Amino acid sequence: MTDQLVELNVTGMHCNNCAMSVHRMLEKKGLHNIHVSFASDEVKFTTTNDAILPQVINDIRGLGFQVIDNPDTHVEKYYQRLENKLIFCAIFTIPLLAHMILPWHWLHHDSIQLALCLPVFIVGLLHFGKSAWSSVKGGVPNMDVLIFIGSTAAFIYSLVGTIEGLGEQYRFYETSATIITLVLLGNLFEKRSVTQTTSAVKDLMKFQQVKANRVINGSVEVIDAREIKSGDTLLVNTGDQIPADGDILEGNASVDESMLTGESVPVEKKKYDSVIGGTIVQHGNIRIIATKVGSKSVLAQIIDLMKKAQAAKPPIQKLGDKVAAIFVPAVLGISLLTFILTFFVFGGGLQASLMHAIAVLVISCPCAMGLATPTAVMVGLGRAAKNGVLIKGGDTIEAVSQAKYVVFDKTGTLTTGKFKLKDVKIEGDADQSVVNGLISAIEERSNHPIARSLVEQLKTQPQQKVILKKATEERGLGMRAEDVDGNHYFLGASKDKGDSEYNLSLYKNNALLAQIAIQDDIKPGAAELINALRQMNITPVLLSGDKQSRCAEVAKILGIADVYAEKLPDEKLAVIDVFRKKGQTLMVGDGINDAPALTQADVGVSMNDASHIAIQSAKVVLLNTDLHSLVFFLKVSRHTLKTIKQNLFWAFAYNVVAIPVAAAGFLSPMVGALAMACSDVVVIGNSLRLKIKKLN
């Protein structure tokens, strides 16, 4: 039986500990490829047994979370909304606090304070108590355990004092209510801030939610973009968003592709050109045939890659995860120790001992540690995506930020890949038109930039049509073909060391038939890119299958000292391994022959116009062909890692300082609850700075 992917929308997870409790429960059930994201409310796993799904959903609900069918149509019940819970609690907490500053004696009465606190405590009991118990059952106690114990201890202490008539020194109803209200306020800030960190994916998803004009038998009907099927004919007018990937059947248009590439200049499209769903027609009217719809579209794949990328944890997050997992039990121990020492050793009395212990509970903040990494990663990946850089994993960011070497392929990466045919030298008495026909027939079967350029330029040359029975591409070598008469051909890189002007050779039945000379121009901005890398203390390396003389020429113009030329794919792997032993190594390439090296490098970077295999092999895709996007990508990665380190520092430092201060009795539980909420906001706010931060 094959594994089936199951995707669930789960609400109610508000920190990394919540996600870890769901993850651990799914692991115990023997499920595989588990991915739980508290920020995007997603739970994914694979299973070979569909029958287990209802029980999994029940178990997730048993942990205190909701499983919903469709997040677009789901509406929370009035009493479930966090905002409404906060408003309800604040209505009772404010007058409860007012007795401390207002001279109204009736507010000081025990029964009045109990009546004001009880509704707030019940909300806290349902909100935090259920989550706390579920997390304990799941084996990963979360922040709500601390909040529940702290607020309950204050409430029961006050209730006993009220029932026994022990006086105002036993009255701490305002402490219980204020803890609950302030933590709800912190949760609301956290929820809204995390929503902002995932805005890049949500912005992209909006491009999928459009209407389309479908043409049927000459008439036009308006449908939802999700109803489009492959092969449908669609009409797109000026100002419309293209609803699906497709090819233009008729018409011309200027298309804004900035949502995909970050490039603001419109791209001119004509008949037979491909268009991408989500891009906008600025001028013109076109009729297209839908080719890729649903999950197969470019936009859907980018959204899916971004979701997976945001879920991939950088190695640095493992430290935060480990601490967060043991943090709650540790704080409970410190709180109990605080009570014992204050009461039995320092003779602080029951009231002071209990308040000190409660302050330790509510000021602790594992949520800040849980939020430190994922929020920064989400904002960093989102900013990169909006500028035409698609990063396939959050773990990629850490590897890139420590890069020591960037290895470049030459053709199509540092050079334009738009080759000019200089000369075709015929060997023996072969006919020119036959040779031209052979080259076109063979190269039509390849996606390599050289092949595409040769086919395009030979269209104007006389050529005799050749019918091939089969043609295959060999990585790093060239094309092998066989015609209907049984003749075998090879068209690939020339190994003639003597005449470096001719790059390609054509063989017929192992006999040289022709040599082809082509030239390629260096990409605009390539020299600036190499210079920028040097300023970032990164060593550029040129690694190519092209001839030594041509590689040396390009390297000299760009200022690259390390050059490895005439390398086959397996030889490229060996070069990559050498540099990986020296430090973190990136490989930038675009051809099918670069795929193994892209996979072998610490991080593979592929150009958007690269071959499909190269894009699949790379961990990063530059959607904008401008080479400056590579520098932008490196800067975003470095600043994202820097932000993660800042977040973890503040989260750890806050607890290292706050817990001893609270244990010593210098902070009340109410001030502790407010400080705890602020620590979450500081961490998330620091992550959100990445959206607008100047990248130096």
**Confidence band of 390 (pLDDT split at 50, 70, 90):** confident
* 476 secondary structure, DSSP code: T
- 103 Cβ neighbours under 8 A, 6+ residues apart: none
- Rounded Cα distance between 64 and 81, Å, is 15
**Sign of the dihedral defined by the CA atoms of residues 624, 628, 631, 632, in that order:** negative
Burial class (CB in 10 A: 0-12, 13-18, 19+), 60: buried
Q: What per-residue confidence (pLDDT) applies to 630?
A: 85
Mean local confidence (pLDDT), 590-595: 61
Q: Name the CA dihedral angle for 471, 472, 478, 479, rounded to a multiple of 10 degrees.
A: -10
127 vs 522: CA distance, rounded Å: 62
For tokens 């922040």, what's the residue? 143
Residue 405 reports pLDDT greater than 90: yes
CB proximity list for 574: less than 8 A, separation 6 or greater: none
Q: Mapping DSSP to helix (H, G, I), strand (E, B) and coil, where does residue 408 land?
A: strand
Domains identified in the chain and CATH numbers:
4-75 (3.30.70.100), 80-199+307-377+644-691 (no CATH), 394-415+522-618 (3.40.50.1000), 420-519 (3.40.1110.10)
Distance of CA 517 to the CA centre of its chain: 43
Q: Determine the average pLDDT of the residues in 125-134.
A: 80
To the nearest 10 degrees (0 to 180), the angle between helices 449-458 and 432-443 is 140
pLDDT given for residue 521 in this prediction: 80
Which residues are paired to 488 by β-bridges? 482
**When comparing pLDDT for 367 and 381, which is higher?**
381
Beta strand residue intervals within 484-538, DSSP E:
488-493, 504-508, 511-519
Q: Is 203 a catalytic residue?
A: no
At 45 the pLDDT is 85
Provide the 8-state DSSP code for 88: H
pLDDT over 60 (residue 196): no
CA distance linking residue 587 with residue 576, whole number of Å = 8
Q: What is the mean pLDDT of the chain?
A: 79
Between 490 and 549, residue with greater pLDDT? 490
Q: Computed from CA positions of residues 225, 226, 227, 229, in that sequence, does the dihedral angle turn out positive or negative?
A: positive
In sequence order, what are the beta bridge partners of 292? Answer: 245
Read off the tokens for 473. Answer: 């591409």
Q: What is the mean pLDDT of residues 252-266?
A: 70
Is residue 494 predicted with pLDDT exceeding 60?
A: yes
* Helices and strands (DSSP H and E) totals, the chain: 23, 24
Say yes or no to pLDDT of 611 above 50: no
Higher pLDDT pick, 145 / 10: 10
Q: Taking every pair of C-alpha atoms in the chain, what is the biggest distance, in angstroms?
A: 117
Whose CA is closest to 540, among 599, 622, 607, 627?
627
The residue with greater pLDDT, 656 or 107, is 656
Lowest mean pLDDT among 60-64, 74-78, 418-422, 486-490: 74-78
pLDDT at 195: 63
Cβ neighbors of 610 (< 8 A, separation 6 or more) are 412, 589, 590, 591, 594, 618, 621
Residues contacting 360, CB < 8 A, separation 6+? 331, 334, 335, 338, 659, 662, 663, 672
Greater confidence (574 vs 364) lies with 574
The reported pLDDT for the residue numbered 370 is: 62
What φ, ψ does residue 425 adopt, rounded to 5°?
A: -95, 115
Is the pLDDT at 31 greater than 70? The verdict is: yes
Residue 368 host element (H or E): helix 366-386
Please state, for a pLDDT cut of 90, what percent of the chain lies above it. Answer: 7
Beta bridge partners of 44: 7, 35
Tell me how far apart the alpha carbons of residues 576 and 306 are, in angstroms, rounded to a whole number.
27
The dihedral built from the CA positions of residue 529, 531, 534 and 539, taken in this order, carries a sign that is positive
Looking at residue 563, its pLDDT comes to: 92
Predicted pLDDT at 314: 54
> Please, how many CA atoms are within 13 Å of residue 386, restricted to the half-sphere of its CB?
17
Q: 536 or 187: which carries more pLDDT confidence?
A: 536
d(CA 234, CA 229): 10
pLDDT at residue 614, rounded to an integer: 45
N-terminal to C-terminal alpha carbon distance within the chain: 52
Q: φ, ψ for residue 390 (rounded to 5)?
A: -100, 110
Single pTM value for the model: 0.59
Q: Is the dihedral of CA 9, 12, 15, 20 positive or negative?
A: negative
Distance, CA of 583 to CA of 628 (rounded, Å): 23
Structure tokens at 467: 């019918």
Grade residue 81 by pLDDT with cuts at 50, 70 and 90. Answer: confident
Give the pairing of strands 539-543 and 403-408: parallel
Q: In the numeric block, which tokens belong to residue 67?
A: 């499983």
Which amino acid is present at 574? A
pLDDT of residue 289: 92
pLDDT at 443 over 80: yes
pLDDT at residue 541, as a whole number: 94
Burial class of 480 by CB neighbour count within 10 A (0 to 12, 13 to 18, 19+): middle
Average pLDDT value for residue range 95-117: 73
Number of neighbours of residue 471 by Cβ within 10 angstroms: 18
Q: Say which DSSP state 543 is in.
A: E
DSSP string, 295-313: GGSHHHHHHHHHHHHHHSP
| pLDDT tens string 504-513 | 889 989 888 9
As a whole number of angstroms, the distance between CA 239 and CA 237 comes to 6
Copy the structure tokens of residue 386: 């909006």
Please give the helix or strand (H or E) that residue 479 lies within, else none.
strand 478-483
Strand partners, 4: 47
Provide the pairing of β-strand 603-607 with 478-483: unpaired
Has residue 170 got a pLDDT over 80?
Answer: no
* 498 pLDDT higher than 60: no
Assign 369 a pLDDT band (cuts: 50, 70, 90): low
Highest mean pLDDT: which range of 9-13, 260-264, 491-495, 533-537: 533-537
With a cut of 80, say whether residue 343 has pLDDT above it.
Answer: yes
Q: What is the rounded distance in angstroms from the CA atom of residue 425 to the CA atom of residue 690?
A: 56
The per-residue pLDDT for 481 is 92
- Grouping H, G, I as helix, E, B as strand and the rest as coil, residue 138 is coil
Q: Which of 232, 409, 483, 680 is catalytic?
A: 409
Q: What is the pLDDT of residue 579?
A: 92
